[in-house]
């Protein structure tokens, strides 16, 4: 077991297999918990916190970052010298909610659930009310990192670096900010004759953007507080801010923000601990993915299926970038004659599989010397669940059953047979480009330093 210890201003910090645990000088563990508030009665966007954003429930983006940060894993120890051999307890990442569906999504993404009381679930309830209730019911927690569910571009390194301001430098409140370059003016009520006034500039000497540092504004991504600070009210004691770059500062309040946030999160969102790897093989179900699942039968007994040209174009886009595409089906869903015609139309091999889809998929991977991280899988029902879970990237059409949606890493906006394959193809190419950019950056850093 890989272990390391470093001295901090407030005690010790142990890092064991990437997981961080903090101790006071007395040997007492400092319990740091992440808390995401997700009430069911959102007024702007109904059930906004679990609405799908870029294929993932909104709250899933911040839960993934919090869990993968490894800052909220509690070790079952009481003294620093015992920490190298203790077992891990459940991740101390919590969602506070009053809604059953939000609770299900939170647990699916690795969080524990604080079922908030009716007293702090009202429209008039404040965040402080809910945080204080959580603190009161969890007296072992020393530090609470309140993460906003509406900040989908949060990354684990943001949380780690911000928490170090509390654990290493003894600040009692830390909050996220972003730098803005906006000239502000005093508001004047309509109909009034009072002239407005500049609030942060001299109009006779307007600075150029590059000559002005701008202003630091809260971006709402997270707020970290010690227990004492929470008991007295938020953002008290010794304050510090943590600056995030503007591209990571996304906050969703109304529907009009949603398309902008989707584009931003696809470029700057956090997709998991593993570095993005280029997909080399896509396995795509014919029935229920490439087609809508229907088989048309003529009077003479001929069988036909319908394929959307947007989807076949998506397949060709992948092939043009070196991604092999294999269409998979069962003999019950697709006759050999239809399979041959489809192969000719798409330029793909059409493989008819038996009941053990995972084993036959693994055999195809072994033939090509591929691991699961290099494989993308598109399925649509219960038989696909194992492969959807194992594949480095997986997707289902919008109209797939819940069992498949829960297993997939991406849920398409489009339904089967009407652009879902094209949508998934574009995501694969986007992440392929992202992986290539990351590898290029790593090369630059190695060559430079």
Active site positions, annotated: 206
Of 101, 75, 97, nearest to 86 by C-alpha is 75
d(CA 353, CA 328) in angstroms, rounded, equals 7
Say what the alpha-carbon torsion angle 359, 364, 367, 370 is, to the nearest 10 degrees. Answer: -90
Paired tokens of 436: 């290539």
Backbone angles phi, psi at 302, to 5 degrees: -70, 140
DSSP string, 242-264: EEE-GGG-----STTHHHHHHHH
For 50, other C-beta atoms within 10 Å of its C-beta total 23
Cβ-count burial of 403 within 10 angstroms (0-12 exposed, 13-18 middle, 19+ buried)? Answer: middle
Tokens standing for residue 253: 């309040």
**CA pair distance 223, 148, nearest whole angstrom:** 8
Tokens 């563990």 sit at which residue?
A: 29
Of 304, 302, 320, 301, nearest to 312 (Cα)? 320
Please tell me the total number of residues recorded for the chain in this structure: 449
Contact 175, 236 (CB under 8 A): no
Q: Distance (Å, rounded) from C-alpha 445 to C-alpha 435?
A: 15
Nearest to 142 by CA among 43, 250, 47, 33: 33
Closest alpha carbon to 34 in 172, 179, 134 = 134
3: β partners = 16
């Amino acid at each position: 077991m890989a272990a390391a210890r470093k001295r901090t201003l407030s005690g010790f910090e142990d890092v064991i297999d990437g997981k961080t645990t903090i101790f006071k000088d007395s040997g007492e563990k400092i319990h740091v918990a992440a808390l995401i508030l997700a009430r069911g009665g959102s007024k702007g966007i109904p059930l906004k916190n679990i609405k799908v954003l870029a294929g993932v429930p909104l709250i899933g983006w911040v839960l993934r970052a919090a869990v993968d940060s490894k800052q909220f894993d509690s070790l079952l120890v009481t003294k620093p010298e015992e920490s190298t051999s203790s077992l891990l307890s459940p991740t101390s990442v919590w969602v506070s909610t009053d809604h059953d569906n939000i609770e299900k999504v939170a647990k699916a993404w690795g969080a524990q659930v604080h079922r908030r009381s009716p007293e702090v679930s009202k429209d008039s309830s404040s965040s402080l009310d809910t945080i204080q209730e959580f603190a009161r019911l969890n007296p072992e927690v020393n530090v609470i990192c309140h993460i906003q569910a509406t900040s989908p571009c949060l990354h684990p390194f943001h949380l780690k670096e911000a928490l170090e301001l509390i654990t290493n430098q003894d600040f009692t409140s830390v909050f996220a900010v972003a730098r803005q370059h906006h000239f502000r003016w005093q508001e004047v009520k309509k109909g009034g004759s009072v002239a407005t006034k500049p609030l942060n500039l001299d109009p006779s000497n307007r600075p150029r953007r590059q000559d002005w540092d701008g202003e630091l504004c809260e971006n709402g991504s997270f707020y970290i507080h010690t227990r004492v600070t929470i008991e007295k009210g938020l953002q008290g004691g010794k304050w510090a801010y943590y600056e995030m770059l503007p591209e990571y500062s996304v906050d969703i309040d109304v529907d009009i923000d949603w398309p902008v946030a989707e584009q931003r999160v696809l470029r700057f969102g956090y997709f998991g601990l593993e570095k993005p790897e280029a997909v080399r093989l896509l396995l795509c179900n014919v029935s229920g993915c490439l087609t809508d699942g229907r088989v048309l039968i003529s009077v003479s007994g001929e069988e036909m299926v319908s394929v959307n040209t947007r989807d076949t174009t998506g397949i060709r886009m992948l092939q043009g970038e070196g991604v092999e595409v294999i269409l998979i089906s069962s003999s019950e869903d697709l006759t050999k004659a239809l399979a041959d015609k489809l192969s000719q139309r798409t330029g793909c091999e059409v493989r008819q599989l038996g009941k053990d889809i995972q084993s036959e998929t693994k055999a195809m991977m072994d033939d090509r010397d591929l691991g699961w991280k290099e494989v993308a899988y598109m399925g649509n029902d219960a038989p696909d669940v194992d492969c959807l879970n194992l594949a480095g990237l997986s997707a289902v059409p919008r109209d797939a059953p819940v069992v498949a949606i829960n297993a997939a890493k991406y849920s398409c906006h489009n339904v089967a047979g009407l652009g879902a394959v094209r949508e998934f193809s574009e995501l694969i190419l986007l992440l392929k480009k992202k992986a290539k950019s990351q590898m290029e950056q790593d090369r630059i850093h190695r060559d430079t330093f």
